[in-house]
């Protein structure tokens, strides 16, 4: 038996087939003894040359080991979770970090990987467990021991509930960092929506044509605006015309649907006719854009951005306005309190809050039912960090990883 190499140092080594003693490759080998490894288990990394023959010869040699099998997606991370190296919020953060495309996504993910969010949820869980223990003691022994029901427990639960509410109220703005701010380009046919889409995307993706109704379906592009992710959508032109065909009608229906789901609307109007579509409700998250100003003899006076997709005039102002609105719709990834951008967290926080509300209503009438609600609230907190799990959820989370992570 050879001596194990120094731990956690990459060493250049010859790799041999243990049976034939054939030299397979020269590789960097690193030995991570438990528990100081990513998974918490003994682990060896072999950084070999990447050719098919080298890799399969190494795998072939290893295949004689007992329990040898190729890794599945997320296999190593799953071990790290099972061995208590990461909680579930950190596992999710790792997936987010690997998938991060914008600065804001990266900063949120690396913060969450540090564990602050898991610690917050764990603290809430422990606080609720203490409250619950007190109430259960009261249910069991309160009358015999003449225990007074401690009003402080109710205050504490109220307080926790407010903290969770405050955290939960930020999820929408945090989720936009993770999934992207939805920006829809809307307007009548032929006003220059696809031209604007192309200008913003920076390449010719949508078909631009002088014929009304060319953009029939919805076209999406992912953009990075001032380090925030934006999902930009080009839509079919809105028009009220009985003569249009079924495909175009469907396109218009989808455009109206997209408008209602959008975080921001870019309402494009042809400045030469000034016809603003009434189907779209304008609000503080609508930017009105007067396009084709290059064709005007007199400048227009209405509010909104004056743009020419043809010359590019007005694009800087549009992007500046867009950046401000996008930033306003997203949480600051560096804000002091732990942030969650994950829909799963939001779901459990919401249900936890509902149970705490039920608790407050029930505590005056039926302490046993109230305690039961508290137990449900605790379970939701436990699911957040992974103290309680089920295979379905774990499979969804770990399948997002690639093989080898």
When asked if residue 237 is in the footprint of ligand GDP (CB under 6 A), the reply is yes
Separation CA 113–CA 124 (nearest Å):
19
Here the tokens at position 378 are 């605790």
Figure out which of the listed residues 50, 210, 299, 336 binds ligand GDP, where binding follows CB under 6 A: 210
Smallest separation (angstroms) from Zn ion to the CB of 234: 6
Separation CA 167–CA 89 (nearest Å):
15
Separation CA 320–CA 327 (nearest Å):
11
Q: Which of ligand GDP, Zn ion, none interacts with 210 (beta carbon under 5 to 8 A by kind)?
A: ligand GDP
Do the bridges between strand 23-32 and strand 43-47 make them parallel or antiparallel, or are there none, so unpaired? Answer: antiparallel
Sign for the pseudo-dihedral over CA of 363, 364, 365, 368:
positive
When asked if residue 133 is in the footprint of ligand GDP (CB under 6 A), the reply is no
Q: How many CB atoms lie within 10 A of CB 363?
A: 19
- Cβ distance to ligand GDP smaller for residue 163 or 220: 220
Here the tokens at position 214 are 């060319």
Q: Which stretch binds ligand GDP (CB under 6 A): 16-24, 202-210, 351-359, 395-403?
A: 202-210
Helix (H, G, I), strand (E, B) or coil at 151: helix
Separation CA 307–CA 274 (nearest Å):
13
Tell me if 213 sits within 8 A of 207, measured CB to CB.
no
Considering only residues 31 through 60, tell me which ones interact with ligand GDP, judged by CB under 6 A: none
**For 270, which DSSP code?**
E
When asked if residue 215 is in the footprint of Zn ion (CB under 5 A), the reply is yes
- Cβ distance to ligand GDP smaller for residue 176 or 239: 239
Figure out which of the listed residues 105, 161, 173, 194 binds Zn ion, where binding follows CB under 5 A: 194
Q: Which of Zn ion, ligand GDP, none interacts with 291 (beta carbon under 5 to 8 A by kind)?
A: ligand GDP
When asked if residue 209 is in the footprint of ligand GDP (CB under 6 A), the reply is yes
Separation CA 113–CA 244 (nearest Å):
52
- Cβ distance to ligand GDP smaller for residue 200 or 374: 200
CA dist list (Å): 368 to 127, 227, 365, 371, 380? 19, 50, 9, 5, 19
When asked if residue 251 is in the footprint of ligand GDP (CB under 6 A), the reply is no
Q: Which of Zn ion, ligand GDP, none interacts with 309 (beta carbon under 5 to 8 A by kind)?
A: ligand GDP
CA dist list (Å): 180 to 91, 104, 205, 259? 21, 10, 20, 16
When asked if residue 294 is in the footprint of ligand GDP (CB under 6 A), the reply is yes
Q: Which stretch binds ligand GDP (CB under 6 A): 205-213, 315-323, 343-351, 394-402?
A: 205-213
User: Considering just the CA atoms, what is the radius of gyration of the chain in Å?
Assistant: 29
Considering only residues 66 through 125, tell me which ones interact with Zn ion, judged by CB under 5 A: none
Sign for the pseudo-dihedral over CA of 48, 52, 57, 60:
positive
Here the tokens at position 210 are 């002088």
Binding residue count for Zn ion, defined by CB under 5 A? 3
- Cβ distance to Zn ion smaller for residue 161 or 195: 195
Q: Which helix (H) or strand (E) segment is 29 a member of?
A: strand 23-32
Binding residue count for ligand GDP, defined by CB under 6 A? 21
Q: Which stretch binds ligand GDP (CB under 6 A): 23-31, 121-129, 145-153, 184-192?
A: 184-192
Q: Which stretch binds Zn ion (CB under 5 A): 23-31, 132-140, 194-202, 301-309?
A: 194-202
Smallest separation (angstroms) from ligand GDP to the CB of 289: 10
When asked if residue 195 is in the footprint of Zn ion (CB under 5 A), the reply is no
Q: Which stretch binds ligand GDP (CB under 6 A): 83-91, 187-195, 336-344, 356-364?
A: 187-195
Residue nearest to ligand GDP (CB): 192
Give exposure, 142-178, as e/b (b: 16+ Cβ within 10 Å): eeeeeeeeeeebbebbeebbeebeebbebbebbbbbb
- Cβ distance to ligand GDP smaller for residue 102 or 291: 291
Smallest separation (angstroms) from Zn ion to the CB of 214: 5
- Cβ distance to ligand GDP smaller for residue 27 or 289: 289
* Residues of this chain that bind ligand GDP (CB under 6 A): 187, 189-195, 208-210, 214-215, 237, 291-292, 294-295, 308-310
């Amino acid at each position: 038996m050879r001596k194990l190499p120094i731990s956690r140092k990459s060493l250049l080594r010859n790799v041999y087939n243990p049976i034939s003693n054939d030299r397979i490759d020269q590789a960097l080998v690193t030995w991570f003894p438990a528990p100081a490894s990513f998974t918490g288990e003994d682990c060896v990394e072999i950084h070999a040359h990447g050719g098919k023959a080298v890799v399969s010869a190494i795998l072939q040699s290893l295949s004689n080991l007992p329990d040898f099998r190729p890794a599945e997606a997320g296999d190593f991370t799953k071990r790290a979770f099972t061995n208590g190296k990461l909680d579930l919020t950190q596992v999710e953060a790792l997936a987010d970090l690997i998938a991060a495309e914008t600065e804001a996504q990266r900063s949120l993910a690396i913060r969450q990987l540090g564990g602050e969010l898991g610690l917050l949820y764990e603290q809430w869980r422990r606080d609720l467990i203490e409250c619950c223990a007190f109430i259960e003691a009261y249910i069991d022994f309160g009358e015999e021991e003449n225990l007074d029901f401690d009003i402080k427990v109710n205050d504490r639960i109220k307080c926790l509930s407010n903290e969770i509410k405050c955290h939960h109220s930020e999820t929408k703005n945090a989720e936009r960092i993770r999934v992207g701010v939805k920006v829809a380009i809307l307007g009548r046919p032929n006003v220059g929506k696809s031209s604007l889409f192309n200008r913003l995307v920076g390449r010719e993706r949508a078909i631009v044509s002088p014929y009304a109704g060319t953009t029939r379906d919805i076209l999406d592009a992912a953009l990075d605006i001032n380090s925030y992710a934006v999902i930009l959508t080009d839509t079919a032109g809105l028009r009220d015309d009985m003569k249009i065909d079924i495909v175009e009608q469907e396109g218009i229906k989808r455009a109206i649907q997209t408008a209602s789901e959008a975080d921001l609307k870019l309402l494009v109007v042809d400045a030469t006719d000034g016809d603003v579509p009434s189907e779209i409700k304008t609000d503080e998250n609508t930017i009105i854009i007067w396009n084709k100003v290059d064709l005007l003899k007199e400048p227009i006076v209405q509010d909104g951005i004056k743009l020419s997709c043809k010359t590019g005039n007005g694009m800087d102002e549009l992007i500046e306005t867009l950046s401000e609105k996008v930033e306003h719709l997203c949480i600051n990834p560096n804000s002091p309190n732990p942030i969650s951008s994950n829909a799963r967290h939001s779901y459990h926080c919401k249900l936890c809050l509902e149970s705490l509300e039920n608790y407050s209503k029930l505590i005056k009438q039926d302490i046993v039912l109230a305690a039961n609600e508290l137990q449900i609230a605790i379970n939701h907190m436990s699911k957040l960090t992974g103290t309680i799990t089920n295979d379905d959820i774990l499979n969804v989370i770990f399948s997002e990883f690639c093989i080898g992570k």
